[in-house]
Amino acid sequence: MNSNKYNINIKEFEELLGKDNVLIDEKDLAIFSRDIIEWEAPLPLLVIKPATTSEVSKSVQIAFKQKIHIAPRGGGLSYTKGYVPNKKNTVMIDLKRLDKVLDINREDLYVTVEAGCTWKNLTDTLKPLNMRPAMTGPISGIHSTIGGGASQNIPGSMDAILGMEIVLADGRVIFTGSSSCIRSNSPFYRNYGPDLTGIFLGDTGSYGIKTKITLRIERIPEGVSFASYSFTNLKNMARAMAEVARLGVASKTFGMDPLKNRNSTKIDFDEGIDTLKEVVKNNSSVISGLKNAFKVATATKKNLEYTPWSLHLTVEGFDQGSSEKAMNSVLSICEKYNGTQIEATIPLALRARPYSIRGFLGIQGERWVPVHALFPLSRTDEVVDKVEGFFSSNKKRLEEFEITHSFISSINGSFWLLEPMFYWFDEVSEYHLQYLEKHKHKKLARSKKNLATRNEVIALRKELSNLFFELGSINAQIGKFYNFAESLHPETYKVLTEFKKTLDPQNLLNPGNLGWK
Ligand SMILES: Cc1cc2nc3c(=O)[nH]c(=O)nc-3n(C[C@H](O)[C@H](O)[C@H](O)COP(=O)(O)OP(=O)(O)OC[C@H]3O[C@@H](n4cnc5c(N)ncnc54)[C@H](O)[C@@H]3O)c2cc1C
């Protein structure tokens, strides 16, 4: 097929990338162009799979010449329509063949990767060197990419991105950070004049396509202490979280609600055992007293099954003594807010296995989708009241459609993140199955397609995000979902729009994202 009613010349892409790297089959188009929600949306005309910056640039030039919209895609593990086309006349660029770790520079403390490299690949590559990225990757990082994370804004983590190589909508390639300096040619430093790196971060692929990314790396600290606490309500847990953040010593602060607690005791058996093996392998000294995987599992189950809210904390230090000393201050805060200490198996498990796809379906095979909001540390009480009010006023609706909800909450800097999640019974599609190992497909509880409930979830989620918007929340992962344009001062949004028009005057890249329809 060389052309169709959109006058797209597919042959040009095939000649550049080879036929195998140009997908036109409807089934493939559907798998690549849907996200976790599976919105009603047009399929793209084709999906292409370049493997180098030059191939990305030339592909974009072909699309530019033919006036075709372009949707870059990383791991595809998002839920805000970021890469989901809103126009049929779209070529989707799958970046997962750009997957290499290119340059680890331990002397200058940076690593450069291709944008389609997963967080897991990078972390596993650095670990034998006792190094890690100086930022927290998303839990989805077993499949999600560093380019995706950079485009979404991972809350609290973006300072460690030092520079990028970016393909613009007309195919030009630019560099940001110190590697933009002709004579430096080293990506060791970010802020060289205005922060060009910063403006491309969190753009959800509207300003350009990231092809290479440089991140700061750091030594894995020797000392690490874990603690978990249970709380009778969200308000107290959130107050404790905020005070722990102000203390400034915890490297991970992660809270779960009663349902999430219960579910984490029932995670898929293979998945649980894999995690526990990692826990035992990595933490033989830390889990003294819990000598094997079975005991860790039993302790977790016993602790969490009847726990109302649970908070999981990790404190790192130059050595074990310093991490324990700092942890003692964290424990005092939890006790001040009436927390009860429980076995710290969850933070251990998160440390041992930071990336995992579990949780993207419910434990009964339900579909899942979250919505999040970031607030200042001082506003937790007010937000908890409003959100609990939202769920109690929608109780009947939730029951009628058999929609359950759950919360997680975290802190990674000077903000509080609340992430309510919805679960409902609906079809698990080929999109979802692509992320699960084949042997798990058969075991999965399956429901019939349930558009009525899916639409109700979509409506509830939008109403909740509107409530967050009214409360002045800040969001990551904006895509086509959050009310970004409406939330900004008009002159600020105008400046961002003018920049978009300069880079992409025909609005070819991800039209609809950040409000640019
Ligand atoms: C189970 C699960 C756990 C998760 N945990 C977390 C978490 O802990 N923290 C968190 O922040 N998020 C989390 N997420 C959300 C999501 O996975 C992250 O936002 C992740 O960074 C998305 O990366 P991706 O490669 O899948 O991007 P995609 O979903 O493929 O794309 C996201 C957006 O970025 C654009 N994009 C992708 N790659 C590029 C590129 N190279 N250049 C330009 N634009 C690009 C796309 O067009 C799209 O708009 C989770 C999701 C799931 C399903």
| Tens digit of pLDDT at every position of the chain (517 positions) | 444 566 688 999 999 999 999 999 999 999 999 999 989 999 999 999 999 999 999 999 999 999 999 999 999 999 999 999 998 999 999 999 999 999 999 999 999 999 999 999 999 999 999 999 999 999 999 999 999 999 999 999 899 999 999 999 999 999 999 999 999 989 999 999 999 999 999 999 999 999 999 999 999 999 999 999 999 999 999 999 999 999 999 999 999 998 877 776 665 545 555 666 666 566 554 444 444 455 556 666 666 666 789 999 999 999 999 999 999 999 999 999 999 999 998 999 999 999 998 788 998 899 999 999 999 999 999 999 999 999 999 999 999 999 999 999 999 999 999 999 999 999 999 999 999 988 888 878 888 999 999 999 999 999 999 999 999 999 999 999 999 999 999 999 999 999 999 999 999 999 999 999 8
Going by CA atoms, what residue is nearest to atom 7 of ligand 1? Answer: 138
Q: Tell me whether the CATH fold assigned to 221-358 matches the one assigned to 362-475.
A: yes
Q: Can you list the pairs that 466-474 forms with residues at least 24 positions away whose Cβ atoms lie under 8 Å?
A: 467/386, 467/387, 467/390, 468/371, 468/373, 471/373, 471/375, 471/379, 471/382, 471/383, 471/386, 472/375, 473/373, 473/374, 473/375, 474/373, 474/374, 474/375, 474/415
Expressed in angstroms and rounded, the spacing between residue 377 Cα and the centre of ligand 1 is 25
Closest ligand 1 atom, residue 71 Cα: 47
- Cα–Cα distance, 150 to 95 (Å, whole number): 13
* Residue 70 structure tokens: 């372009």
Q: Which residues line ligand 1 (CB under 6 A)?
A: 36, 71-78, 82-83, 95, 115, 138-140, 144-145, 147-149, 151-152, 154, 204-205, 209-210, 357, 359-360, 476-477, 479, 510
Expressed in angstroms and rounded, the spacing between residue 154 Cα and the centre of ligand 1 is 9
The reported pLDDT for the residue numbered 2 is 44
| 329-362 exposure pattern, b = at least 16 Cβ within 10 A, e = fewer | ebbebbeebebeebbbbbbbbbbbbbbbbbbbbb
Q: Which fold has domain 221-358?
A: Alpha-Beta Plaits (3.30.70)
The reported pLDDT for the residue numbered 271 is 58
Closest ligand 1 atom, residue 118 Cα: 25
Closest by CA position to 516, among listed 69, 41, 154, 52: 69
Expressed in angstroms and rounded, the spacing between residue 95 Cα and the centre of ligand 1 is 12
Closest by CA position to 346, among listed 440, 267, 414: 267
The reported pLDDT for the residue numbered 506 is 96
Alpha carbon 303 to its chain's center: 28
Closest ligand 1 atom, residue 359 Cα: 1
The reported pLDDT for the residue numbered 169 is 97
Closest by CA position to 55, among listed 87, 94, 1: 94
Expressed in angstroms and rounded, the spacing between residue 151 Cα and the centre of ligand 1 is 7
Expressed in angstroms and rounded, the spacing between residue 309 Cα and the centre of ligand 1 is 27
- Considering the segment(s) 101-219 as one domain, its CATH architecture is 2-Layer Sandwich (3.30)
Kindly report the backbone phi and psi dihedral angles of residue 141, in degrees, each rounded to the nearest multiple of 5, phi listed first. -60, -5
The reported pLDDT for the residue numbered 445 is 80
- Cα–Cα distance, 266 to 304 (Å, whole number): 10
The reported pLDDT for the residue numbered 427 is 94
Domain 10-97, CATH 2.60.120.10 — does that match? no
- Give the CA angle between residues 264, 269, 274 to the nearest 5°: 90
Going by CA atoms, what residue is nearest to atom 36 of ligand 1? Answer: 148
Closest ligand 1 atom, residue 146 Cα: 25
Q: Which of 117, 139, 152 to mutate to test the pocket of ligand 1 (most atoms within 8 A of CB)?
A: 152
From the DSSP assignment, how many helices (H) and strands (E) are in the chain?
19, 18
Going by CA atoms, what residue is nearest to atom 51 of ligand 1? Answer: 140
The reported pLDDT for the residue numbered 279 is 60
Query: Residue ranges per domain, the chain?
Result: 10-97, 101-219, 221-358, 362-475
Going by CA atoms, what residue is nearest to atom 6 of ligand 1? Answer: 138
Residue 82 is classified by DSSP as S
The reported pLDDT for the residue numbered 4 is 55
- Cα–Cα distance, 50 to 479 (Å, whole number): 23
- Cα–Cα distance, 280 to 287 (Å, whole number): 8
Expressed in angstroms and rounded, the spacing between residue 78 Cα and the centre of ligand 1 is 5
So what's the ipTM on this one?
0.99
Going by CA atoms, what residue is nearest to atom 32 of ligand 1? Answer: 148
Closest ligand 1 atom, residue 116 Cα: 41
Expressed in angstroms and rounded, the spacing between residue 496 Cα and the centre of ligand 1 is 22
CATH class for domain 362-475?
alpha beta
Going by CA atoms, what residue is nearest to atom 8 of ligand 1? Answer: 138
